[in-house]
């Protein structure tokens, strides 16, 4: 979950299963988008999906219309799923935890229960 207006590096690429040009803002998003494009279970996906809400629930969460979800997937069985990309080192931040919880509640209110977090690979030193 990110702010709608991003400042900083952006990788743009066209993938087969994504209808628009993907704007990816970090390595976790980039790696996962490529993985989704190769997965047989995924029919299509969207990136940076704006959280729209006419009921005011987003305002209750303190988000208004300024945030986007990283990935909205359409699976082969017709269901939808949501994935948020986060760096492992950011998981312990209270603000990140609050945003992730808000995202989960938002998508649950839209009827999507398959919600998950994608994190970067843990570095192992020997």
Q: pLDDT tens across 6-23, in order?
A: 566 888 999 999 988 988
How, if at all, do strands 67-75 and 80-86 pair?
antiparallel
Sign of CA dihedral 108, 112, 114, 116: negative
Give CA–CA dist 105/121, Å, rounded. 26
- Our separate counts of H helices and E strands in the chain read 3, 7
**14 Cβ contact partners less than 8 Å away, ≥ 6 residues apart:** 21, 22
Give CA–CA dist 87/37, Å, rounded. 21
Confidence of residue 50 (pLDDT cuts 50, 70, 90): confident
Q: Summarize pLDDT for 21-32 with one digit per residue, the tens.
A: 988 888 889 999
């Amino acid at each position: 979950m990110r702010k709608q207006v991003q400042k900083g590096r952006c990788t743009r690429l066209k993938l087969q299963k994504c209808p628009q040009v993907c704007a990816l803002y970090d390595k976790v998003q980039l790696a996962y988008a490529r993985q989704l494009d190769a997965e047989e279970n995924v029919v299509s996906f969207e990136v940076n999906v704006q959280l729209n809400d006419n009921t005011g629930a987003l305002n209750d969460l303190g988000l208004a219309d300024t945030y986007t979800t990283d990935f909205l997937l359409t699976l082969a069985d017709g269901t939808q799923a949501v994935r948020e990309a986060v760096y492992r080192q950011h998981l312990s931040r209270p603000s990140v935890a609050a945003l992730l919880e808000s995202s989960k509640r938002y998508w649950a209110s839209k009827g999507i229960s398959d919600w998950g977090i994608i994190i970067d690979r843990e570095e192992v030193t020997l």
